[in-house]
Amino acid sequence: MSLSAVKPTNTVTKIDEIQSVNTSSLDKIQVTGAQQLNGIIPISGAKNCALKLMCAALLTGETVKFQNSPNTLRDMQSQTELLEYLGCTVSREKDLMAINAGGIKDYTAPYDIVRKMRGSILVLGPLLTRFGEARVSLPGGCAIGTRPVDMHIKALEELGAKINLEGGYINAKAPKGGLQGAKIMFPKVSVGATENLMMAATLANGETILSNAAREPEITDLGECLIKMGAKITGLGTDTIRITGVKNLNSAIHSVIPDRIETGTYMVAAAMTGGNIRLENARLEHLTAAAGHLARAGVQVEQEGNDIIVNRDIDKPLKAIDIMTEPHPGFPTDLQAQFMAMLTIANGASLVTETIFENRFMHVPELNRMGANITVQGNSAIVRGVNGLKGAEVMATDLRASVALVLAGLVADGETTINRIYHLERGYEDIIGKLSRCGAKIKKI
């Protein structure tokens, strides 16, 4: 069945301006380097939070509204496509999103949509707990690793779901009377599994205790929205989250937290270019590990009201630092590529260790094409600082690797052309506008 054939008629999406941003399909970006960045960058709502909040709206037949939603992102559009396919009404205007899941007609998340964005696996828990069944395509691997969903499946089985995998789909059914609260110990910290189970448990019978739960700020924000909808949840931000199931959830209005990875990316831009940037509506408390590393590298970072100010003295070279990615509150894997770009021009050798994903060094050969000196050994990379990078034609491979190449281009001598830049549209709202207004020479070609 084609997607268009089942497109619901109750859709009132107001997305004209949004589509005009993306239909041009950014092919390449050209950055002319050696510009200092100075100015103000407004931070958007967090992609990795908004995508899950959209799934939370499936838990009620009433309308749920989100403010500060990064609606122009391609991933948000894919998630909208999925919710509309299921029968939701989704309306988006500027940074406001409203979702009504009162008319769900289908419990299937098809391969065609799930393959575009792994975040769609997060419809599994909400559909299963509210409707008693769900069919979600297995998301498969992606550029950064194999990314299994075994922990999501096993934990839902512990809530009593009967699950079989057939034809590339997860077919899940809840027992008669609904999912049953349980004690779940995740063998490994997983953001997605924690979120899926937290949502599933909101409408289960009795209490669910999630141990070794992820503590990312996006999970706390999702939990706070669920609480506004009527869920009973305690322990957010700790590794033990307790959820007591309720019969129904209701409407709510929730504001999405600022995107900490977008924030961290622009912090690195200021650090690399020796600039002074004010990041509007950003929270340093969500970036403690990254800010600590920047301080050790010689970058000044401070919170001022709702903004973060980042400043580096151009006359003082960046210092080499060692980084190891870890679950929150450790250093985030989603900032590893950006920090590696920064360390290519630091004074000395840095060791960057990736512990979350097995294949998240695809930016290394591209940075080396620009004159960086990086050697990968297993899950570590030795980055020996060089005096300067040189512009080159490079290839973006995933969202964060792409933005790392943009950052490298900002300081490289001459022009850097980045191909396959559509990855950037998935996670960075108006990156060209935001950087240009601070003095970067960056354009689509």
Length of the chain: 445
CB 344 within 8 A of CB 275: no
Question: Residue 14 corresponds to which tokens in the numbers above?
Answer: 């107001």
Residue 285 interacting with ligand EPZ (CB under 6 A): no
Q: Is the dihedral of CA 81, 82, 84, 85 positive or negative?
A: positive
Residue 188 interacting with ligand EPZ (CB under 6 A): yes
Using omega within 30 degrees of 0 as the cis cutoff, is the peptide bond preceding 329 cis?
A: yes
Distance CA 51, CA 27 (A): 24
Q: How far is the CB of 365 from ligand EPZ (least distance, A)?
A: 19
CB 288 within 8 A of CB 308: no
How many amino acids of this chain bind ligand EPZ (CB under 6 A)? 23
**Residue of 82, 151, 219, 271 that binds ligand EPZ (CB under 6 A):** 151
Q: How far is the CB of 213 from ligand EPZ (least distance, A)?
A: 11
Residue 156 interacting with ligand EPZ (CB under 6 A): no
Residue 242 interacting with ligand EPZ (CB under 6 A): no
Residue 74 interacting with ligand EPZ (CB under 6 A): no
Q: Identify the active-site residue in 55, 142, 225, 438.
A: 142
**Residue of 119, 160, 245, 391 that binds ligand EPZ (CB under 6 A):** 119
Residue 406 interacting with ligand EPZ (CB under 6 A): no
**Residue of 44, 79, 190, 220 that binds ligand EPZ (CB under 6 A):** 190
Residue 147 interacting with ligand EPZ (CB under 6 A): yes
Neighbours of 245 (CB within 10 A): 21
Instruction: Name residues contacting ligand EPZ, limited to 292-351 (CB under 6 A).
Output: 333-334
Q: How far is the CB of 434 from ligand EPZ (least distance, A)?
A: 18
CB 62 within 8 A of CB 102: yes
Distance CA 257, CA 44 (A): 9
Residue with tokens 């709202």: 429
Distance CA 22, CA 292 (A): 35
Q: How far is the CB of 157 from ligand EPZ (least distance, A)?
A: 12
Question: Residue 161 corresponds to which tokens in the numbers above?
Answer: 């779901």
Nearest to ligand EPZ of 346, 405 (CB atom): 405
Mark the segment that binds ligand EPZ (CB under 6 A) among 64-72, 149-157, 163-171, 204-212: 149-157
Question: Residue 326 corresponds to which tokens in the numbers above?
Answer: 């870890």
Whether 142 is catalytic is: yes
Query: In Å, how far are 314, 385, 393, 396 from 388, measured between CA atoms?
Result: 13, 9, 16, 21
CA angle in degrees (0–180, nearest 5) for 252-215-427:
70
Residue 113 interacting with ligand EPZ (CB under 6 A): no
Residue 145 interacting with ligand EPZ (CB under 6 A): yes
Distance CA 271, CA 295 (A): 10
Residue 206 interacting with ligand EPZ (CB under 6 A): no
Residue 245 interacting with ligand EPZ (CB under 6 A): no
**Residue of 92, 152, 254, 363 that binds ligand EPZ (CB under 6 A):** 152
Nearest to ligand EPZ of 127, 401 (CB atom): 401
Nearest to ligand EPZ of 78, 276 (CB atom): 78
Query: In Å, how far are 351, 353, 392 from 371, measured between CA atoms?
Result: 18, 21, 9
Q: What is the largest CA-CA distance in the chain?
A: 68
Nearest to ligand EPZ of 188, 444 (CB atom): 188
Distance CA 417, CA 409 (A): 8
Mark the segment that binds ligand EPZ (CB under 6 A) among 22-30, 184-192, 335-343, 415-423: 184-192
Nearest to ligand EPZ of 260, 278 (CB atom): 260
Q: How far is the CB of 424 from ligand EPZ (least distance, A)?
A: 11
CB 219 within 8 A of CB 204: no
Nearest to ligand EPZ of 119, 223 (CB atom): 119
Nearest to ligand EPZ of 307, 354 (CB atom): 354
Nearest to ligand EPZ of 356, 372 (CB atom): 356
CB 14 within 8 A of CB 93: yes
Instruction: Name residues contacting ligand EPZ, limited to 32-71 (CB under 6 A).
Output: 48, 51
Residue nearest to ligand EPZ (CB): 192
From the DSSP assignment, how many helices (H) and strands (E) are in the chain? Answer: 15, 24
CB 193 within 8 A of CB 167: no
Distance CA 424, CA 433 (A): 13
Which residues would be at the binding site for ligand EPZ (CB under 6 A)? 48, 51, 118-119, 145, 147-152, 188, 190-193, 333-334, 356-357, 399-400, 427
Question: Which residues participate in catalysis according to the annotation?
Answer: 142
